[in-house]
Structure 1
């Protein structure tokens, strides 16, 4: 019987919010299963999906870091940034996805308020590092191929500085909810945690924090990517026209174009649903909405721990070749092709 559930709420939770009546509950997601938000099958499917993200995300990102440690030739300035991305993805997969896997299995935030704050903080920190790492990759590609600064050479120490900046920016975004500007609470089906973007409690200034996240941690990285990659595509197109008879240059243009399209689409799939849904809620205070809708954007952002490495690392032939060597599936022909292709693309920029 539902009436037998405990109703005492932890001190840092819970506020009544204007949801559909089917979603209203007097029972804390820290204390009892949230059966009113979905069937047992849905919770178990979400738990299985989170387990997949935990296993796949942890495995592929650990393999990426291990490859870079083992193979010296992978320690280039671009690959430093990709490893930084892998570390951020590993943080989200190992802590965020695993916590969600356990909580979806029990159908509520069984690990308690402290685990909620830890999961929310690590997921936000790793997500922000990932976002800014993608922007740094775009800037690196723009500087190397388009050469806007002339003979400026992007070196390893520049990449390390770029990686450090991503963590500074990420901490600036993830720490405020622990310090009183917004807070980390259960979201969606109440089995994952994130910044409080859907309550109206003025004590935490949630609206201003969400606006900060949207502008600083979504719009700015996305704008940087669009600027850099649009210039990159233009440079590649001009080089291809100037070398119309060069099959290798034409091939390089097609490869870069494909990669740019995949990169931008991947970014949007990761973060556009989460950012747009949070902004809609903030700008439509008082409107009813189904709280369960917040689960899908949260899952898509966590799924980036798997498809980001696929886009940025497994499609990198040099990385893929080293990974195949590490697991005993060496492909020397692919490695030589990778070296030639990389050389061609690097030479495309204006002199």
Structure 2
């Protein structure tokens, strides 16, 4: 039976909600925590042990994986504990720290995905500028992404909006329910600068990348007979599909929550069932498993590198790709190719 039980200005239970539901959510969060740590940790370890994998594009991927590892390591134990306890046990300060950390990693993730899309756009659609994307540029770009996330996650700590309990009181986030003018400005600014504009830029980049790849695949006169050009084109096209899949995974995880947050902000929050809001908030955190899974299972070269560090033989056999996939994935040594031009020398840091 649906009920409404006000327990404070920001914690409101709407619809069916009980301790059994809270424990079930805790089990899901624990699952995300374990698999998120294992997958992201193993990827980070593989990057650490395999210097040849640290291309500029893979540095962007590394930044995204580090972001997901941070979210998993700091966030999931807290919200899982709250779910098993049935309430938020970490007090006001804990809510502020958790809300800041989760919001920062969420905004940083979409910023890094935008940087990855721009990288793919330059390397594939604008190959004359591909040599400009060096490891130094990739590192600086990741710093800009983090700065952009900080720009919007620090203000709630100092009074421009605030971090409050959400849903069933198992986690904290920005106050999307506030109707104060200053909070309205913050809410609108967040949605535009950290969701709609990045997605628009990503779609723009990937559309032009797709059109470039399509054009090159039909062009029989430009580098078509070059083994180097064909091999590097395959590498870039595979990386493009991997990046596009990771972006799709992010949308799959975060868009339902973003839609509900929009409704809570501009609609009637009293009509959003607590179970729906909490479930979608938990689903958004599945990105810590979705992102690394997509990267590993769409990247044969990385699976080979990862398998070398896995002690379990069945898992090692599972990770190793087929022989033909392995051959297609190998680029021309010491060169950074593009989809439309012969490979260019990769600039060092």
Cα distance change of structure 1 residues 190 and 286 upon mapping to structure 2, 3 Å threshold: closer
Partner of 1:52 in structure 2?
31
Corresponding residue of 1:66: 45
Equivalent residue, structure 2, for 1:17: none
| CA–CA distance in structure 1, aligned partners of residues 306 and 141 of structure 2 | 25
Q: Does 1:140 align with 2:116?
A: no
Cα distance, 1:270 vs structure 2: 2.3
User: 1:22 corresponds to which residue?
Assistant: 3
State how far apart, in whole Å, the 1-side matches of 2:149 and 2:17 are.
Answer: 33
Return closer, same or farther for 1:37/1:120 CA change in 2, 3 Å cut-off.
Answer: farther
**1:311 aligned to which of 282, 294, 302:** 294
The residue aligned with 1:75 is 54
Contact 1:61 1:86 in 2 (8 A): yes
Query: Structure 1 pair 79/262, CA: closer, same or farther in 2 (3 Å)?
Result: closer
By how many angstroms is 1:102 displaced? Answer: 0.2
Q: 1:58-137 maps to which residues of 2 (within 5 A)?
A: 58-137=37-116
Distance 1:151 1:172, change over 3 A: closer
- Show the counterpart of 1:284: 267
**Contact 2:234–2:328, Cα closer than 8 Å, also in 1:** no
How high is the TM-score relative to the length of structure 1? Answer: 0.82
Q: Give the C-alpha shift of residue 234 in structure 1.
A: 0.6
Instruction: Measure, in 1, the Cα distance between the counterparts of 2:328 and 2:2.
Output: 62
What CA distance in whole angstroms lies between the structure 2 residues aligned with 1:150 and 1:186? Answer: 46
Per the normalisation by structure 2, the TM-score is 0.83
| 1:154 to 1:23, Cα distance in 2 relative to 1, 3 A | same
Deviations 1:72-105 (A, max 9, x none): 1112111111111111111111111111100000
- Aligned match of 1:297 in 280, 285, 288? 280
What is the rounded CA distance, in whole Å, between the counterparts of 2:330 and 2:275 in structure 1? 45
Contact preservation (8 Å) 1:317, 1:335:
no
- The whole-number CA distance in structure 2 between the counterparts of 1:253 and 1:241 is 16
RMSD value over aligned CA atoms? Answer: 3.3
Q: 1:140 to 1:43 in 2, by over 3 A?
A: same
Return the offset for 1:171: 0.6
* Aligned counterparts, 1:1-351, within 5 A: 22-26=3-7, 38-147=17-126, 150=129, 152-200=131-179, 202=180, 205-243=182-220, 255=238, 258-259=241-242, 262-285=245-268, 288-328=271-311, 329=316, 337-338=325-326, 340-341=328-329, 343=331, 346-350=337-341
Instruction: Please tell me whether the aligned partners of residues 65 and 83 of structure 1 are also in contact (alpha carbons under 8 angstroms).
Output: yes
User: Gapped runs of 5+ residues in structure 2?
Assistant: 343-349
Say which is worse superposed, 327-336 or 230-239, in terms of deviation: 327-336
- The answer on whether the counterparts of 1:274 and 1:301 sit within 8 Å (CA) in structure 2 is yes
- 1:211·1:279 contact (CA, 8 Å) conserved in 2? no
CA offsets 1:6-60 (integer angstroms, 9 cap, x no match): xxxxxxxxxxxxxx98232236999xxx798513221111000110111111221
Give distance in 2, aligned partners of 1:243 and 1:342. 23
Q: Deviation string for 1:294-336 (max 9, x for gaps)?
A: 2133112211111011223442222222111111437777588
In the TM superposition, what whole-angstrom CA distance separates every residue of 1:207-257 from its partner, at most 9, and x where no partner exists? 222211111111122112101111111111111111498896897798567
Give the secondary structure class of the aligned counterpart of 2:3.
helix
Please state whether the residue corresponding to 2:173 is helix, strand or coil.
Answer: strand
Mapped to 2, the partners of 1:286 and 1:338 lie a distance apart of 51
Q: Tell me how far apart the structure 2 counterparts of residues 132 and 96 of structure 1 sit (CA, whole Å).
A: 20
